[in-house]
Amino acid sequence: MTSLLNFVYTYISDIARSASLFNTLSTFHTSKSSSKLSHNFTNNNEIHTSAARTSTLLSTSTGFQLNPINITSYRLASTNSTWNESSLPDKIKSLDEYKALYDLSINDPERFWKMAAERLDWYRFPTKIKNTEFDYRTDRGVDIKWYEDGILNVCYNCLDRHIDHDSSASKQVAVVFEPDTPTETRHHVTYGELLRDVKKFANVLKKHGVKKGDRVTVYMPMVVDACVALLACARIGAIHSVVFGGFSASNVAERISDCDSTVVITSDFGLRGGKCSPLKSKIDQALKMKQCSNVRTVLVFERNYGNNADVKDACSDQRGTLEWKEGRDFWAHKEMETVNENCPPEKMNAEDPLFILYTSGSTGKPKGIVHTTGGYLTYTSLTFKYIFDYNPGDVYMCTADIGWITGHSYIIYGPLSNRATTVVFEGVPTYPDVSRFWNVVDKHQVNIFYTAPTAIRSLMAHDDKYVTKTSRQSLRILGSVGEPINSEAWKWYHSVVGDSRCPIIDTWWQTETGGVMITPIANAWELEPSSATLPFFGIKTQLFDKSTKKPLTPPNTGELCIQDSWPGQARSLYRNHERFVDVYFKQYPGYYFTGDGCEIKKNGYHCITGRVDDVLVISGHNIGTAEVEAALNEHAGVSESAVVGYPDKKKNQGMYCFVVLKDDTKESEELRKDLIKSVRNTIGAHVNPDVIHFTPDLPKTRSGKIMRRILRKIVEPDTSNLGDISTLTDPSIVKELIKKSPRTKHS
Ligand code: 6R9
């Protein structure tokens, strides 16, 4: 802790020296947690800051942006300032500074991304920065290389180098572990301790024959050992493939065999919301399947309660039943006792793969997204630092699971490469009650909090008192990722959770993009509810018309593409470059196709409208389901909704709305009519929901995304083949929906 404080003080005095701001230091010390930045909503939902900002030192020194943004077209009007420095700034303080650097990043990407790479430590600094081709019609075809002759190690950059540069880093907390049961004794892990465990575990992997380039499947709960597993792979150059702990045995088997892993890292159990999840048994089941016959080693971390005799062990019934295959299964902690602590990091080429992460595709066969070493780390490291305005000493918490890209990029690699303190949260937002997030924020004095709209919507369905009874004074920045955040949820997050004082950083990106692409930069410019605002450095967006395939000039709405490569992007699909090109580069030759719709407004702000395949065509009108959902969610009684189409001879498609009501709202015919009316009022009289189906819940994937594929099948109706529903949080909801659907009854 002392070192943390030292860090903060050193930092403050550095800033103070450069900005001659000694007189504001006391304000900073005392007001960091109590300062107010008040936002007023105007009629058009724009937010203007009305009070002088005191919550961060730099804003105090520069003054906050009080004027509306002066961008008249999508191409940001150039500024008078150009970037003449030889390195990147520590933070982005204003829209002008952003514009100067943005111009540079687009006009001279080599120079910009060279400066970004200088933030990392390299064994050999690259002489070639960018070498990329997006056009599949060229002889070269789609081919993406960044820093191709550079040599570095990701684990070294996340751990060793902080200690090598400043020995006090070894005592700084790297990971704060918040267990599922709040009363379980938590342990904080310092950079020194994490490095020691990673080195040992890396030696365990080596002992079991894992070499550079080998694939290792990781199937772990949200515990510190998961970070150890990933960083150990990175240290020795093994390619990790994390499979989310909620996936079924057959899903894991499919992913183990697709990338041909011979080693699996797991845990005996996992805990979520007080329930025990038998991870090791699921691996046992998976490995009995023929396609996994190549797996020769399973390394098992132990999840126990240590000295917490007072905590009920939710796994106690199952502990005695663990299967153990001698010669294949090994306890990680025992193996770690047999190896030494010395494990030099492997020297990796910048384009060597770092990991594979499977994401769902439209065909049902998962896509093994491949990310590489140098570009990925440069990008996640820079985005983390700028977007969240991370200051030394800040405590940062992201509620994602390491099974998803957000967990990879913004729990582990982005934060640790910046010497941040990152919270690993094992639990769920609603256990033991719906105050959990905010209690954790208070307990660990979290300054930056990053979560998903689905969590926000589920929490706002309950009484505000579950939030307001907590302090949350430590919070400075709130982030959102994963889906469009409707303006009601945005406003609730901003005003109730953030006490109208924390900017909402709505970050748009994808597994394929590696890191955040369109986003506000904390405190640099004004926000609008439901807008991810502006592209990050090096990201040039382009809209296209879906039917004519012609480029559109903003302000406009269309299909979102990216014009040129950025270092964090996926290089390919594992052993399937052809599918990579087909899915992302064939629709609009020369562009990366995101699959998302987007509106770019007059001021250049981007609003993601949802997946483009989520568009209904009703009586000749294109209607984004996300738009209808937003309208339904605006209604005071609605917690959440999902809209899908079904075939209709007259109108082409009919509109079917699944609606989850808030705790205190009862379904009624009157409410049904009211909802239809408000959709018509909000979007237009051409938008008429045909069916309103009230339901207590929606079928969701473990990462919180609504599984529309299943909803579509229910309303078509074609319920004979629903496909795999084992990845849902609660598969039983599907039966309920089928039973109650007027379309299944009458079919
Ligand atoms: C990081 C992540 C990617 C898809 C993406 C889009 C949706 C993510 C969003 C958002 C609107 C945001 N999405 N962030 N939509 N606003 N801020 O979620 O990756 O799981 O691959 O999902 O999620 O549709 O295309 P991934």
Is 484's C-beta closer than 6 angstroms to any atom of ligand 1?
yes
Which atom from ligand 1 is nearest to the alpha carbon of 703? 20
CA max distance for the chain: 75
**Confidence band (pLDDT; 50, 70, 90) for 64?**
very low
Question: Which residue from 383, 401, 483, 600 has its CB within 8 A of the most atoms of ligand 1, so it is best to mutate?
Answer: 483
Spell out a b/e string for 452-469, using b for 16 or more CB atoms within 10 Å of the CB, else e. bbbbbbbbbbbeeebbee
Measured from the CB, is residue 510 less than 6 Å from ligand 1?
Answer: yes
Q: Are strands 592-600 and 556-562 parallel, antiparallel or unpaired?
A: antiparallel
Higher pLDDT, 555 or 185: 555
Judge if the beta carbon of residue 419 lies within 6 A of ligand 1: no
Nearest residue (CA) to ligand 1, atom 5: 510
Q: In this structure, which residue's CA is closest to atom 2 in ligand 1?
A: 510
Confidence category of residue 61, pLDDT binned at 50, 70, 90: very low
pLDDT at 30: 25
What ranges make up the beta strands (E) of 340-442?
Answer: 348-349, 353-359, 367-372, 395-398, 421-425
Tell me the CA–centroid distance for residue 276 and ligand 1, in Å. 29
Q: How confident is the model at residue 709 (pLDDT cuts 50, 70, 90)?
A: confident
Take atom 4 of ligand 1 and give the residue whose Cα is closest.
510
Say if residue 550's pLDDT is above 80.
yes
The answer to whether residue 62 scores a pLDDT higher than 50 is: no
Q: Is the CB of 611 under 6 A from ligand 1?
A: yes
User: Which of the residue ranges 332-346, 365-379, 720-734 would you say has the lowest mean pLDDT?
Assistant: 720-734
Q: How far apart are CA 60 and CA 95, in angstroms?
A: 16
User: What distances in angstroms separate CA 114 from CA 87, 126, 127, one per listed residue?
Assistant: 9, 8, 9
Residue nearest to atom 12 of ligand 1 (CA): 508
pLDDT at 744: 79
Neighbours of 5 (CB within 10 A): 10
CB 455 within 8 A of CB 462: no
User: Which helix (H) or strand (E) segment is 449 a member of?
Assistant: strand 448-451
Give the pLDDT confidence score for residue 358 in this predicted structure. Answer: 92
CA distance 574 to 273: 34
Ligand 1: does its nearest atom lie under 6 Å from the Cβ of 405? yes
pLDDT value at 432 more than 70: yes
Confidence category of residue 626, pLDDT binned at 50, 70, 90: confident
Token pair listed for 649: 């001879």
Q: Among 296, 289, 280, which Cα is nearest to 331's?
A: 280
Task: Determine the average pLDDT of the residues in 426-453.
Answer: 96
Q: How far is the CA of 562 from the centre of ligand 1 (A)?
A: 15
Ligand 1: does its nearest atom lie under 6 Å from the Cβ of 160? Answer: no
Most confident of 186-195, 470-479, 697-706: 470-479
CB 614 within 8 A of CB 709: no
Please indicate whether residue 409, judged by its CB atom, sits closer than 6 Å to ligand 1.
no
Average pLDDT of the residues in 342-353: 98
pLDDT of residue 648: 83
Listing DSSP states for 237-250 in one string gives T-EEEE--TTS-HH
In ligand 1, the atom with minimum distance to the C-alpha of 512 is: 21
Q: In degrees rounded to 5, what are phi and psi of residue 187?
A: -125, 140
Q: What are the helix (H) ranges across 549-657?
A: 577-585, 625-634
Q: What is the pLDDT of residue 230?
A: 98
Q: Where are any strands of DSSP class E within 6-161?
A: 39-41, 47-49, 130-133, 143-146, 151-152
Q: Is 688 in the pocket of ligand 1 (CB under 6 A)?
A: no
Ligand 1 pocket member 596 (CB < 6 A): yes
Domains along the sequence of the chain with CATH? 153-307+320-374 (3.40.50.12780), 619-740 (3.30.300.30)
Lowest mean pLDDT across 667-671, 693-697, 725-729: 725-729
Q: How far is the CA of 450 from the centre of ligand 1 (A)?
A: 14
Cα–ligand 1 centroid distance for 8 (angstroms): 34
| Mean pLDDT, range 585-599, rounded to an integer | 96
Task: Say yes or no to pLDDT of 542 above 80.
Answer: yes
Measure 426 CA to ligand 1 centroid, in angstroms: 22
Q: What is the mean pLDDT of residues 655-666?
A: 94
For residues 301 and 320, give the distance between their C-alpha atoms in angstroms, rounded to a whole number.
Answer: 16
Pocket test for ligand 1, best of 242, 606, 608 (most atoms within 8 A of CB): 608
How many whole angstroms separate alpha carbon 263 and alpha carbon 328?
9
User: Strand, coil or helix: what is 41?
Assistant: strand
pLDDT for res 1: 36
Closest approach atom of ligand 1 to CA 595: 25
pLDDT above 70 for 110: yes
Average pLDDT, the chain: 86
pLDDT tier at 262, thresholds 50, 70, 90: very high
pLDDT of residue 72: 31
Pairing of strands 615-618, 606-611: unpaired
Counting ligand 1 atoms within 8 A of each CB, the residue from 402, 454, 596, 633 with the most, and so the one to mutate, is 596
Higher pLDDT among residues 605 and 619, named by residue = 605
Provide the token pair at 62: 């520069």
**pLDDT at site 28:** 23
CA of 159 to the centre of ligand 1 (A): 29
Over residues 5-31, the mean pLDDT reads 29
What pLDDT is attached to residue 79?
56
Measured from the Cα of 508, ligand 1's closest atom is 17
From atom 11 of ligand 1, which residue's Cα is the shortest distance away?
484
Q: What mean pLDDT is predicted for residues 393-417?
A: 97
223, 682 Cβ separation under 8 angstroms: no
- Ligand 1 centroid – CA 191 distance (Å): 31
Residue 675 has pLDDT above 60, yes or no: yes
Residue 43: pLDDT band (50, 70, 90) is very low
Residue 114: partners with Cβ closer than 8 Å, 6 or more residues away? 126, 129
CB 614 less than 6 A from any atom of ligand 1: no
Confidence of residue 720 (pLDDT cuts 50, 70, 90): confident
Convert 271-281 to b/e letters by CB count within 10 Å (16 or more is b).
bbeeebbbbbb
Give the pLDDT score at 650.
74
Q: Which long-range contacts (CB under 8 A, 24 or more apart) does 113-118 make?
A: 113/146, 113/378, 113/538, 113/567, 115/86, 115/87, 115/88, 116/88, 116/378, 116/379, 116/382, 116/537, 116/567, 117/147, 117/150, 117/374, 117/378, 118/87, 118/88
Q: Is the CB of 281 within 6 Å of ligand 1?
A: no
Q: How far apart are the first and last CA of the chain?
A: 65
**Atom in ligand 1 nearest the alpha carbon of residue 610:** 24
Considering only residues 248 and 165, tell me which one the structure prediction assigns the higher pLDDT: 165
Rounded Cα–Cα distance for residues 218 and 616 (Å): 39
d(CA 731, CA 697): 11
Ligand 1 mean position, distance from CA 582 (Å): 20
